[in-house]
């Protein structure tokens, strides 16, 4: 395979699909640049004063990790300076960041989780960044919340970066899913996983089973069914849960597995599960579908949900299509 950097890949796509503008390529390039800088900090986080908490609480009521703040500010700074976005919504900020008139106002709105799984950083477990782009649809000259609050099916692009044993960027624009590995020696993301497809055979499941008592009966029955011996293999499904969505999703995408964060129906703090529609569920759902998989809340295709607010949470069940259908059938039957 010819060595191809993310920049060359974007330019190739631009040539093949005239609808893809230079603005879009520039924006993806800005995301890749910010990701490289975050990657550098994540890799040396154990050395500096970056680990631990800031003693603040973010809009989700969670402790803000120092690296959350760093990644959030860095992405906003680079994206604002890049001039390709009109609005930025992040998991860390209650409201959108509008791009002011003195800057260039681009035609894309971006929703992002700047650092996903950050509570795992203190123990050296992989974390990630998740992003989702929508075309500006509001009438005014500036971007607005309306540009961020669009159904997942309208995404122009979704992707994630995993800061793992190597750093990878995986993205889709609706033309398949492509993965790039960062070569730290030259600072380039190199195409390493073209046209990624999720294996249709499901071999593992990822869920925080400690919450089982809070789930509906159908979800409990489904997860129990995975522990029974599976006739084709003679083995039960393997349980694999990291507690970092990007890492759990990435493994399942490569190896074939289902991820679940169901609603906690008995926990008043998490009536809709934990994950955020705009920053986590919708982008992962777009990638999963593009890789041949599926994503549901149990009752609804994730990409069909029209968001009512920026920090909306939804249950997320994502994985190989047949497995997601089996989950839906069991939960529909038992409620
Ligand atoms: P974040 O660090 O962005 O707040 O996200 C954490 C999320 C996600 O990465 C993971 O799938 C989930 O929280 C794990 O939750 P539990 O610890 O409740 O299992
Ligand atoms: Mn997250
Ligand atoms: Mn986060």
101 pLDDT above the threshold of 70: no
Give the domain range for residue 309: 204-333
For the four alpha carbons of 15, 16, 17 and 20, in that order, the dihedral sign comes to negative
Residues 51 and 72 in one domain: yes
251 lines ligand 1 (CB under 6 A): no
Find the CATH number of the domain harbouring 234: 3.40.190.80
CA 206 from chain centre, in angstroms, equals 16
Residues 66 and 177 in one domain: yes
Residue 273's SS3 state is strand
Residues 175 and 81 in one domain: yes
As for how many domains the chain has, the answer is 2
Residue 282 domain-assigned? yes
Residue 199 domain-assigned? no
Ligand 3 centroid distance, CA of 71 (Å): 9
pLDDT of residue 56: 67
Residue 198 domain-assigned? no
Residues 178 and 287 in one domain: no
pLDDT band at 264 (very low <50, low <70, confident <90, very high): confident
126 pLDDT above the threshold of 60: yes
Domain boundary among 130, 161, 193: 193
Residues 274 and 311 in one domain: yes
Residues 71 and 140 in one domain: yes
Residues 220 and 174 in one domain: no
Residue 180 domain-assigned? yes
Rounded Cα distance, 83 and 87, in Å: 10
Q: What is the pLDDT of residues 58-84, one digit of tens each?
A: 665 565 578 899 999 999 999 999 999
Find the CATH number of the domain harbouring 104: 3.30.540.10
Rounded Cα distance, 177 and 194, in Å: 7
Residue 1 domain-assigned? no
243 lines ligand 1 (CB under 6 A): yes
pLDDT of residue 44: 80
pLDDT band at 102 (very low <50, low <70, confident <90, very high): low
Ligand nearest to the CA of 249: 1
Q: What is the pLDDT of residues 293-319, one digit of tens each?
A: 999 999 999 999 999 999 999 999 999
More confident residue, 12 or 276: 276
Domain boundary among 167, 193, 219: 193
pLDDT of residue 293: 98
pLDDT band at 232 (very low <50, low <70, confident <90, very high): confident
Residues 17 and 137 in one domain: yes
For the four alpha carbons of 139, 144, 149 and 153, in that order, the dihedral sign comes to positive
Ligand 3 centroid distance, CA of 192 (Å): 26
322 pLDDT above the threshold of 70: yes
35 pLDDT above the threshold of 70: yes
pLDDT of residue 15: 80
Residue 126 domain-assigned? yes
* Residues 6 or more apart whose Cβ sits within 8 Å of residue 66: 49, 50, 51, 52, 53, 54
274 lines ligand 1 (CB under 6 A): yes
Report the range of poorest mean pLDDT among 54-68, 123-137, 219-233: 54-68
113 lines ligand 1 (CB under 6 A): yes
The three-state (H, E, C) secondary structure of 4-36, written as one string: CEHHHHHHHHHHHCCCCCHHHHHHHHHHHHHHH
Closest ligand 1 atom number to CA of residue 118: 2
pLDDT band at 172 (very low <50, low <70, confident <90, very high): very high
| DSSP letter for each residue of 294-315 | EEE-SSSBGGGPPPSSTT-B--
Residues 16 and 142 in one domain: yes
Residue 122 is classified by DSSP as G
Residue 200 is classified by DSSP as S
19 pLDDT above the threshold of 70: no
Tokens at residue 121, please? 């950083």
Residues 261 and 208 in one domain: yes
Q: What is the pLDDT of residues 187-225, one digit of tens each?
A: 999 999 999 999 999 989 999 999 999 999 999 999 999
269 pLDDT above the threshold of 70: no
pLDDT band at 51 (very low <50, low <70, confident <90, very high): low
Residues 154 and 58 in one domain: yes
Residues 182 and 290 in one domain: no
Domain boundary among 193, 213, 235: 193
């Amino acid at each position: 395979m010819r060595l191809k950097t993310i920049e060359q890949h974007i330019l190739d796509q631009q040539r093949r699909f005239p609808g893809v503008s230079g603005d879009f390529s520039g924006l993806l390039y800005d995301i890749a640049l910010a990701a490289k800088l975050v990657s550098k900090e994540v890799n040396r986080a154990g050395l500096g004063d970056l680990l631990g908490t800031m003693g603040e609480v973010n809009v989700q009521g969670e402790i803000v990790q120092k690296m959350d703040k760093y990644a959030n500010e860095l992405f906003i700074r680079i994206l604002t300076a890049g001039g390709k976005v009109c609005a930025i919504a992040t998991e860390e900020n209650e409201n959108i960041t509008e791009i002011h008139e003195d800057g260039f106002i681009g035609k894309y709105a971006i929703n992002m989780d700047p650092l996903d799984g950050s509570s795992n950083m203190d123990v050296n477990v992989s974390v990630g960044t998740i992003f989702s782009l929508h075309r500006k649809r509001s009438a005014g000259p500036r971007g607005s919340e309306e540009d961020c609050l669009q159904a997942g099916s309208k995404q122009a692009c979704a992707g994630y970066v995993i800061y793992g044993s190597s750093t990878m960027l995986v993205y889709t624009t609706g033309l398949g899913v492509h993965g790039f590995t960062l070569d730290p020696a030259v600072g380039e993301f190199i195409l390493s996983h073209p046209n990624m497809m999720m294996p249709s055979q499901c071999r593992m499941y990822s869920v925080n089973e400690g919450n089982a008592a809070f789930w509906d009966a159908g979800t409990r029955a489904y997860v129990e069914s995975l522990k029974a011996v599976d006739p084709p293999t003679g083995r039960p499904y393997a349980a694999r849960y990291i507690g970092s969505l990007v890492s759990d999703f990435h493994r399942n995408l490569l190896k074939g597995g289902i991820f679940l964060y169901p609603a906690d129906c008995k926990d008043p703090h998490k009536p809709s599960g934990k994950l955020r529609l705009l920053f986590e569920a919708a982008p992962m759902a777009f990638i999963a579908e593009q890789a041949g998989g599926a994503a549901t809340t149990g009752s609804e295709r994730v990409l069909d949900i029209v968001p009512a607010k920026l920090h909306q949470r939804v249950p997320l069940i994502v994985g190989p299509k047949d497995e997601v259908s089996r989950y839906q059938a069991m939960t529909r039957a038992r409620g």
